[in-house]
Amino acid sequence: MNQAKRQSRKLGWRFVVYAVVVIFVFLALLRNLWVDVYFIPSESMEPLLLSGDRVLVSRTSFAGSPIERGDVVVFDGRGSFTPLNSGTAPVAEGIIGAGQWLGLVPNNNIYVKRVLGVAGDTVKCCTDGGLLEINGVPVSESYLYPGDEPSALNFEVTVPQGKLWLMGDHRNVSLDSRSLLGAPGGGLISTTKVVGSPFATVWPLGRLHVIDSDTKLP
């Protein structure tokens, strides 16, 4: 009888171990192939994303469809936004903690910004009316943080093939592609570095909602 009980306990513990392993493997596949969780520690994408938000990011957002102006993207900033010298403080605001096991472990190479220019676009700021201009067309940006101007820094850039020009919605506090003009890469990031797009805020509970970032620009 005692031997049967010991055998039953062993089988029970083995089942628990196997179940835990299966769950972790499933979560790892989920994170790397479909959906990940990210923590927002900065104000650079307000009012769309608030500091302290945890958001779900779809890794399949752009599968079979091109990245367009107005899209909000999560991307790997290594080689562009992230300083090559590890001893230097980050030069681009909007770093987000990667969702390594529910967003608890930070990854300072990951950023979130809005796409303002795709391949072939000329992005300029600002017009006489104080607006951003894309391919000669003034753009009214409804997503900007209230009271912010499109850019305190004047610039004009033409986006090469396979690259993106990115800016935060809270322009007065966002360090983005504008801040890296003159640096290697000129603040442009490769489309291959895009991880996906945020589609829902899951924490805090009072902020639980689907993210409406579907803003198409001319």
Q: Cite the active site residues.
A: 44, 113
Residue 92: closest CA among 12, 11, 167: 167
Angle at 193 (CA atoms; ends 202, 178), nearest 5 degrees: 90
**Cα dist from 175 to 21, 35, 42, 213, 218, whole Å:** 41, 27, 11, 20, 24
Q: Taking the CB of residue 68, how many other CB atoms lie within 10 A of it?
A: 13
Gap between the Cα atoms of 196 and 122, Å rounded: 24
Secondary structure (3-state) at 63: coil
Q: Taking the CB of residue 116, how many other CB atoms lie within 10 A of it?
A: 27
